[in-house]
């Protein structure tokens, strides 16, 4: 558990906004440091793949579908082929006793029979769904709308609570910063005074050093 619970790294309510010249000077220093570090801002990180070099990888089924859509522009508007569910044309009649040597005709009948089964299952399922929709659709729609309204009300209440918490946090933050504003200003003034005294001491020490050197030169002469 940390001992320090507050951080005053950012004090928007206390700090004096910087002027444009100071901001430009700070950015110049940052850019100089970036150049000295050998970082090129125009180049992307090696872990990032440039958009021009990115090639998506699709499965074989998706690739075949892309090829089909490129060949047939009209099929792009229909995701499901409805022809398989339409009326089927029966192949020519066959005779079990005389068509033993015509397997291609029997294969067409088998294909037509499978398509008929598929169409029948689809139509039966469609009729069932339409019947359920007619019987329960209205109530299900109303119940769905009621549930969506409840979800919307809960989200709006949560959003209002978050806004309230944000306002409380902002107020507390402002009060905390304003309560230490005098202390920060006193510390800043003390720091500036201390820096000034250090500079004065260094200047006085340098002057004393020059006087000592001059006296030594005079004594040597």
Query: Within this chain, do residues 144 and 198 fall inside the same structural domain, yes or no?
Result: no
d(CA 169, CA 157): 18
Inter-axis angle of helices 103-179 and 181-220, nearest 10: 70
Percent above pLDDT 90 for the chain: 28
Residue with tokens 């067409």: 108
Give residue 104's pLDDT band: very low, low, confident or very high (50, 70, 90): confident
Q: Furthest-apart CA pair in the chain: how many Å?
A: 142
Is 88 within a domain? yes
170 shares a domain with 116: yes
Which DSSP string corresponds to 141-176? HHHHHHHHHHHHHHHHHHHHHHHHHHHHHHHHHHHH
* Alpha carbons 117 and 153: distance in angstroms, whole number: 48
Residues 43 and 98 occupy one common structural domain: yes
Q: Residue 1 has what pLDDT?
A: 41
* Average pLDDT of the chain to the nearest whole number: 81
**Mean predicted confidence (pLDDT) in 113-120:** 83
Q: What six digits make up the tokens of 1?
A: 């558990």
Does residue 196 sit in the same domain as residue 220? Answer: yes
**What is the C-alpha to C-alpha distance for residues 88 and 123, in angstroms, rounded to an integer?**
14
Domain range for 142 is 20-179
User: Are 157 and 187 part of one and the same domain?
Assistant: no
The pLDDT of residue 152 = 96
| 148 and 211 part of one domain | no
DSSP string, 47-89: TSPPGGG------HHHHHHHHHHHH-SGGGG-SS-GGGGSPPP
In a domain, 129, yes or no: yes
> Is pLDDT larger for residue 67 or for residue 203?
203
- Is 4's pLDDT higher than 60? no
Length of the chain: 221
For 41-83, write each residue's pLDDT tens digit.
677 777 777 776 777 889 998 898 888 777 776 655 566 666 6
Instruction: Name, in order, each residue with C-beta under 8 angstroms of 102's C-beta and a sequence gap of 6 or more.
Output: 94
Which among 35, 12, 31 has a CA at the least distance from the CA of 23? 31
**159 and 207 inside one domain:** no
How many independent structural domains does the chain possess?
2
pLDDT (average), residues 175-193? 89
Residue 3 lies in a domain: no
**pTM for the whole thing?**
0.42
Distance of CA 214 to the CA centre of its chain: 70
Are 197 and 150 within one domain? no
d(CA 101, CA 109): 15
Number of H helices, E strands in the chain: 4, 0
Residue 204 and residue 168 in one domain:
no
């Amino acid at each position: 558990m940390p001992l320090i619970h507050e951080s005053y790294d950012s004090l928007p309510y206390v700090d004096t906004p910087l002027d444009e010249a100071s901001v430009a000077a700070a950015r110049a220093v940052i850019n100089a440091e970036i150049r000295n570090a050998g970082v090129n801002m125009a180049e992307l990180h090696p872990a990032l793949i440039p958009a021009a070099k990115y090639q998506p990888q699709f499965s074989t089924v998706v690739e075949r579908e892309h090829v089909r859509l490129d060949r047939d522009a009209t099929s792009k508007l229909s995701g499901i082929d409805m022809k398989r569910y339409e009326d089927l044309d029966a192949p020519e009649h066959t005779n079990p006793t005389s068509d033993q040597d015509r397997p291609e005709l029997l294969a067409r009948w088998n294909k037509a029979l499978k398509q008929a089964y598929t169409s029948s299952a689809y139509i039966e399922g469609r009729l069932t769904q339409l019947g359920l929709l007619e019987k329960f659709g209205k109530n299900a729609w109303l119940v769905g709308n009621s549930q969506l309204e409840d979800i919307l009300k809960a989200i709006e209440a949560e959003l209002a609570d978050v806004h309230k918490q944000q306002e409380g946090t902002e107020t507390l933050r402002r009060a905390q910063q304003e309560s230490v504003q005098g202390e920060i200003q006193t510390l800043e003034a003390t720091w500036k005074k201390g820096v000034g005294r250090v500079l004065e001491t260094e200047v006085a020490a340098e002057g004393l050093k020059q006087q000592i050197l001059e006296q030594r030169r005079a004594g040597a002469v």
